[in-house]
Amino acid sequence: MNTFPDLRLRRMRRTAGIRAMFDLEIPGPAKWCWPTFVVPGTGLREEIASMPGQFRWSVDRIVEAVEPVVRQGVGSVLLFGQTDRPKDNGGSAAWDDHGAVQEAVRRLKRAFPELTVMTDVCLCAYTHHGHCAPLRPDGALDNDAACECLAKVAVSHAAAGADVVAPSAMMDGQIAAIRAALAENGFDDTLLMAYSTKFASACYGPFRDAEGSAPQAVPGAPADRKGYQASYANPRNGLLESVLDEREGADLLMVKPALFYLDMIQSVRAQTLLPVAAYNVSGEYSMLIATARQGWGDLGDLVRESSAAIARAGADLIISYWASRYAEFFGARA
Ligand code: PBG
Ligand code: ZN
């Protein structure tokens, strides 16, 4: 094999044109999904303090919010909701057929029939304790009751017209329960995207701020989700979560967060033939904004480099708050 001085790898990097010939391209906007927040009420566009550039939108303004994102060619949105009804132990407002998410889905599908509308299916923004499941009187998590609640949420989202429902509660059996409930209600065509390999991460802080969904310490339950979300120190267990969700009937798997878990994206990708989504979460978003605001890095360069890493790890779908600025960072695509 040739070596220096005959072989000079810098030849391949000398000009922008030569580099562009061989560089991998960032996935086009159709392979991106924009997560956003809907709230009850009217006329609202509230910037989220811990996520500059991202907003909570009232239902009547959700079409206005999504229109510029659709115009950039972004293929899908993932909706998170909140309620103005009293929160309870089971998060029952989450399966209100006229909740903010359900109404937003209806409006978006009417305005943009081609847009793929996904919904987060969880209870934590609707339970008074902020956990993703009802709690028993002793504070223990009621896993199997949670599955029944989550199935009701998923059915109400599917009935509103959601193309994809995405359960994020990390309860055992939630995928099987939702798949069965969708089938019973005639929603055979609704895609089920499992937040399958989801870690208990310190990177969800800004999101919990946005959603008012931080877990509270109550007697018997700690103020964290380590009892249900996967441990970052146990990668085999995290991978097994994706294996089981596939067996239970998921159509798409997910690794979340993305940037701290590139190895997990790669290992989930390697052990399944299903598509794999990566969720570039709120803390990963806000970290880059904070760095840029300190003058310690260029935001565009940081976004491009970190997004390329997610793509390189093997993600088929990139769920990222940057999707709302796709054209600015990655240029317009046909
Ligand atoms: C709720 C949920 C969370 C996120 C998505 N769905 C927060 C959590 O698990 O506490 C995080 C998204 C983000 O940080 O961008 N189950
Ligand atoms: Zn939750």
pLDDT (tens, 9 = 90+) of the chain, 334 residues, equals 789 999 999 999 999 999 999 999 999 999 999 999 999 999 999 999 999 999 999 999 999 999 999 999 999 999 999 999 999 999 999 999 999 999 999 999 999 999 999 999 999 999 999 999 999 999 999 999 999 999 999 999 999 999 999 999 999 999 999 999 999 999 999 999 999 999 999 999 999 999 999 999 999 999 999 999 999 999 999 999 999 999 999 999 999 999 999 999 999 999 999 999 999 999 999 999 999 999 999 999 999 999 999 999 999 999 999 999 999 999 954 4
Residue among 121, 213, 310, 319 whose CB has most ligand 1 atoms within 8 A, to mutate = 213
Ligand 1 site, residue 207, Cβ cutoff 6 A: yes
Nearest ligand 1 atom, CA 35: 15
Q: Are 127 and 89 within 8 A, CB to CB? A: yes
d(CA 144, CA 285): 33
For 292-321, the DSSP string reads: HHTTSS-HHHHHHHHHHHHHHHT-SEEEEG
36 lines ligand 1 (CB under 6 A): no
Q: How far apart are the first and last CA of the chain?
A: 41
Q: Rounded to the nearest whole angstrom, what is the distance from the C-alpha of residue 314 to the centroid of ligand 2? A: 26
Does residue 120's CB lie within 6 angstroms of at least one atom of ligand 1? Answer: yes
In the block, residue with structure tokens 């566009």: 45
Q: For residue 19, how far is its CA from the centre of ligand 1 (angstroms)?
A: 37
Predicted local confidence at residue 334, as pLDDT: 41
CA of 158 to the centre of ligand 2 (A): 19
| Residue bearing tokens 């870690």 | 199
DSSP string covering 43-84, please?
Answer: S-EEEPTTSTT-EEEEGGGHHHHHHHHHHTT--EEEEEE--S
Ligand closest in space to the Cα of 132: 2
Q: Closest-lying ligand to the alpha carbon of 129?
A: 2
Nearest to 30 by CA among 318, 321, 325: 318
- Backbone phi, then psi, for 40, in 5-degree steps? -65, 165
Nearest CA to ligand 1 atom 14: 204
* Ligand 1 site, residue 132, Cβ cutoff 6 A: yes
236/251 Cα distance (integer angstroms): 21
Q: Is 94 in the pocket of ligand 1 (CB under 6 A)?
A: no
The catalytic residue positions are: 198, 256
Give CA–CA dist 47/312, Å, rounded.
32
What are the b/e assignments for 247-279, b being 16+ CB within 10 Å?
ebbbbbbbbbbbbbbbebbbbbbeebebbbbbb
Tokens 């903010």 correspond to: 100
Q: How far is the CA of 160 from the centre of ligand 1 (A)?
A: 22
In this structure, the dihedral spanned by the alpha carbons of residues 25, 273, 109 and 333, taken in order and rounded to 10 degrees, is 10
